Structure 1
Amino acid sequence: MSDDYSNRSYGEIAVGFGEKPGIVVVDFQIGFTDPQYPLGGAPLVTRAVDNTAKLLEVARRYNVPVAACYTSYMNEREMPYWKITAVRETFRDDHPSIALDPRIYQEGYDLVVCKKGPSIFFNTGVSDYFTKERVDTVIITGCNTSGCIRASAIDSFSYRYRTIVPEDCVGDIEEGPHNDNLRDIGRRYVDVSNLETVLGQLEAWRQRNAG
């Protein structure tokens, strides 16, 4: 954090972990995770998928609510004005790239939504689900950090959730935008954390609520 930001009090107050966590998994569809597709297989995304799978294994064992999303459209007419050719050509309802990566998806446990914009919360019902589940702390995983993760983090903040983003559970195409956006949202809206710390927070939460 630069001195100019810190001198103006940015990032001084931690968000912290609240009374009940929920996890969102943003766009870990194979169009982003499988290198056979034009947007797939970026190293930071691959790392994030592997780490998110570890997080979710523990979270499901502790009965933490999980909401996952993929991005897909009926046709180009339905789409927003994406400037990314690969999104326009592959994120279609009839294209195999929209399937969720099996490493992060558990059928019958995860709430799954199709999103049409960058944020997992935008017109999807995820916030309603978390309200029913009494979630007050949202852990954000997925890709890409500079796009849909940032948008989801801002919406989570706007919905008044405590928001935690484990750095090694989110990924992007390039390291620069990944780091820049995490630094920026960490100054304003979220606690930027890591897998190990979040696993410890989940364990502490489980122990507090045991019995």
Structure 2
Amino acid sequence: MDDYAKRSYGEIPVGFGRKPGIVVVDFQTAFTDPAYPLGGAPLVLRAVENTARLLAVARRYGVPVANCNTAYMSAREMPYWKITAVRETFLHDHPSSAFDPRIHDASYDLTVCKKAPSIFFNTGVADYFTKERVDTVIVTGCNTSGCIRASAVDSFSHRYRTIVPEDCVGDIEEQPHRDNLRDIGRRYVDVSDLATVLAYLEDWHRQNAP
């Protein structure tokens, strides 16, 4: 038992609630296409494929989905990013800002462009989930150590039950991916997996089908 566990971190599970919603964070081609400086990390590509499977079921069952990219009109609009590739390519008119078509359905998803790490920051996603009576947020996307962590913390702060399926999020390196999931799992969220979340959606659909 580590020192965190001795001090009761992670003892109480979050659990699934009565109504799910899914957020998809930054699966834009900047991260999913190896042609771009930040693109093509194996954990991110795995997460895209698994998230696509999750979303196919979620949309079939009418689960609310919020999907975001990150883009700016110019460097002048940006916060003080320390990443050259972000400053040079995360622009509205740059092709790397496009959503990966495997995870985006413009006719179904609430689609937002965020300007900060969290999908909830000044985007209206929380308002949408309130209207939809969501109490359980499933967080997918990239990168685990940055925008996923920020979105998960904001989800927790909005009082949602927050679930992060490990195989539906990704990062550039495995170590920060694991470290950040372990840390938010001690404090704010349940770290789960695709199979468990799909089983929850199936059960939720059975209980709520007309």
TM-score by length of 2: 0.99
Q: Are residues 1:100 and 2:124 paired?
A: no
| In structure 2, distance between residues paired with 1:5 and 1:203 | 34
Aligned counterparts, 1:78-93, within 5 A: 78-93=77-92
Aligned to 2:132: 133
Flag structure 1 segments of 5+ consecutive residues without an equivalent.
none
Q: Are residues 1:162 and 2:161 paired?
A: yes
| In structure 1, distance between residues paired with 2:197 and 2:173 | 24
Runs of 4+ in 1 over 3 A off after TM superposition: none
Aligned counterparts, 1:161-200, within 5 A: 161-200=160-199
Describe the SS at the equivalent of 2:40: coil
Deviations 1:126-180 (A, max 9, x none): 0000000000000000000000000000000000000000000000000000000
| In structure 1, distance between residues paired with 2:2 and 2:183 | 14
Describe the SS at the equivalent of 2:56: helix
Aligned to 2:60: 61
Deviation at 1:22, TM superposition (A): 0.2
Describe the SS at the equivalent of 1:69: strand
**What is the one-letter code of the residue matched to 1:51?**
N
| In structure 2, distance between residues paired with 1:100 and 1:76 | 20
**What is the one-letter code of the residue matched to 1:62?**
Y
Aligned to 2:34: 35
Number of residue-to-residue matches in the alignment: 210
Percent identity between the aligned chains?
A: 80
| In structure 1, distance between residues paired with 2:30 and 2:106 | 19
Q: Are residues 1:119 and 2:113 paired?
A: no
Deviations 1:67-101 (A, max 9, x none): 00000011111000000000000001110000000
Deviation at 1:210, TM superposition (A): 2.1
Aligned to 2:202: 203
Deviations 1:33-74 (A, max 9, x none): 000000001000000000000000000000000000000011
| In structure 1, distance between residues paired with 2:2 and 2:50 | 32
Deviation at 1:3, TM superposition (A): 1.6
| In structure 2, distance between residues paired with 1:124 and 1:107 | 16
Describe the SS at the equivalent of 2:199: helix
| C-alpha RMSD of the superposition | 0.6
**What is the one-letter code of the residue matched to 1:40?**
G
Flag structure 2 segments of 5+ consecutive residues without an equivalent.
none
TM-score by length of 1: 0.99
